[in-house]
A and B are shown apart, each in its own frame.
Chain A
Amino acid sequence: MSNYVTLEQATQLYSCAQARFVLRTVHDARFLKLTRLMKTLDRVLGERIYDEVWRGFRGALRRYLFNISSAPIPFAIVTEESWFAALPNKGALLMSVYPETGDALREVGSLLHSLSQSHANPILDEVLEIGGVRDGNASLVIKELRLVQLTEATLASAGLKRLKVITPQTLTMPEKYDRLIVIGAFRWFPQFVFTAPRAPKIDLVCFKGIIDSPRVDEAFVGSIRSVDLQPAYQTAFDEDGSDICDAEEIVPCINWDRVVQGLLTRVHRTDEEDEVEARLVVLAGSRGVFLDAGGQVLAIKLESSIAANETNQDWINVEMLEPGMALLLRTAGGGDLIAPTANIILGYQAVELRARQNEWKGLLRQNVVEFGMKAVCRKLEHYGSTRAHSWNVRGWMSNRSIKPQNYEDFLAITRLIKAEETAQVVWENACRITAAHQKAGQHIRARLLKEVRRADIRDLRRLGRLDFQLPEEDGGSMTAFVVQSIETKRYNISASHIGQVFEGDEKLWPE
């Protein structure tokens, strides 16, 4: 039976429904000046802000503004030291290309230089003013997973180890907090942070200089409710017109299409025929992974309706993946774990069985290279195949699949490669490999389940990823990544890139 949410827990969450919201605006002259200068530069350059040369500088500047305003970290702790180091040279170059930026660009340069040496942390100073923070009776909510550890380190050095740092993903769990301190602009967070509050008191700490509109949208048009949906703020939002940087302008938003284009142009495609149709899955922490659209993957369901330590993992079809689940991917130990495990199950026969397998796949591939995919499909149809479409044929000759589902298709392949007399034997071999792969899958699942049970799954929810070491034989490790979204577009990807996690290039963000 599931480790379900108790009525007591649910009642506690309902008790937070009318949370008291306090807006705390942080005044910092340098931050405000930087946002104003950014707007000035935008105004001066007009459409030229989208030039390749300027875009990189502008993107980095906005990233910096976002980082220092979305977590209580000192101005000097910058996540892009190389960018700061290159600033003087870059500045000179920009000045020569865009002389009209003149003083504004110079001022930005000197301001950034001064900030990079400043240990001021105005957000943290404001947080310290909030009651209960020093006793650990509050939790900090920050938007970005990648800033959690940096924030924790900053808090630890300030003697605030007991102050927990969480992300909105953690707030999907049925856990009540005494007080939540949300860092940054209202619009940077999913609406449920405010519409399904997990604490009776919520503070929103944001720099003055960021325009925000703290309104929640009704879920259903024309809906009814017993009390007003809008958060009841104790303090009014500053509307004196001095706020000049729109919250949406500096929020991270990776253009995955550009990331993928960049990735595909960098990758040397050696075997065009061994392509698979793939879905791009965006993982927490600005990472991505391609998964075989027709394949399966080990996933952990992290349902919000079940308790925080509950896990439920299984092989599921990639098409059934949903945001909020966690994917288990091999991150160390090399490649797919199933084939080596299946080889152990097959024993001494593994080598011979695999060799026979490679033989017919190689001959099929050779036919495709020689005559082309269309001709091979036609021939296979002629030999009795009912599913000889290009995608299926690609799958059949790929080493990632074992055999066609139907014997008629396989028979047609053996006729094509002139090996019909051995069709039955090779088919039985392939069936044995399939059975071994299935057993291997169950075995790996059981081993992982053991490891996952030992691990504290709360860390997965908090950090968006969790590593699992597999203790046996070939060992290696697997990492669970929380799925953020699944792109609807499908990509043709070399099979060797399936399951390989890659970083979303921050330089491409924000557009």
Chain B
Amino acid sequence: MRELDLFTDFSKKAGVEIDPMDIKIDDTTLRDGEQTAGVVFANDEKIHIAKMLDKVGVHQIESGIPAMGGDEKDAIKKIAGLGLNCSVLAWNRPVKSDIEASVECGVDAVALSISSSDIHIEHKLRKSREWVLETMKSGVDFAKSHNLYVSVNAEDASRSDMEFLLQFARTARDAGADRLRYCDTLGILDPFETFMRVKNIIDIIGIEMEMHTHNDFGMAIANAIAGIKAGAIYVNTTINGLGERAGNAAFEELVMALKYIEGVDMGFNTTLFRNLSEYVARASNRVLPTWKPIVGGNLFVYESENKISGIMADPLTYELFRETDVGLKREYVLGKYSGINSTIHKLETLGYKISREEANELANIIRSKTVASKRALFDSEIIDTYKEFKGSSKKEKAGTGRKK
């Protein structure tokens, strides 16, 4: 299955045109995001995040697990009652009581999750394949009798026997499920295998599909995109990729990758991305890494001479989108990798005009100061360094003058 020659004619297979209007985001920050070990949102935070997601333009919000009861159920009820533009979905096991709890919350959609891999069926559920199909089918029947939109989630789909997965998908389709969620629960697929498995299901069963990917091997975004290329139309994302273990496909990364790499602009208000990411980072008590793709605070901060020279000539030399597109700021810092151009430019922004010769000498001084302090210099340190440098070169000149 993993043989290389399978992909020699890949270009033909992967050349599907994607209509941006067809692709939909189902964000699960409030469910799989909160399920992360150590993360708990307050109900007010959940409501605020739901409102922000709606404002930014997601199509569906996976709001939580009503069967947990208590605060969780209250939050879902409140979110469902907010009158949002997007659909509000709740996560269920395919059992009557879970679905009833969802109905009580007033959501319009449910996800019915059950494992489809033998390893989960044997070791976790301790049941049979037949039991899985029956349980799933009766869950769909019951949910449909309440007029809910139904997503059937094939948990651990990636380790499921393909024949059984097809049978699972067929059963879901015939029971009237609206879509099948493909869960790469352990994050073990690569984009090529994802493409083949998802395409197989779509070609043979013809059910609408959703991608739920994990980042254990750093492939969450690539696998989600592979699923879309294969014909999946929903992606289950979380803000910042918040999720169990290494997390899920990050909403902001997926949207920007679709826009700038695949040419699929879904029309999201991307300028809100940084705000949204900061809010979720704080609510989940996790610092947003400065190097986080799309929204990290350091992404438009430059130190290296090569890059700064290029960007000053034309930002497109090193950037595919602008800092303002995602609500970030541009900054140039001076450090070990600085050179003449970056030093001249930086000093200019600080209000000092210097020559190329001066910049060369100053860059040398700044480099050794950086190495000594093991970090880039603050603006005030740069100004002090410049003033010292000016003072000493004046003194030198004055000194030589006196000698004459």
A pairs with B: no
* Chain B residues packing against A (C-beta within 8 Å): none
* Chain A residues packing against B (C-beta within 8 Å): none
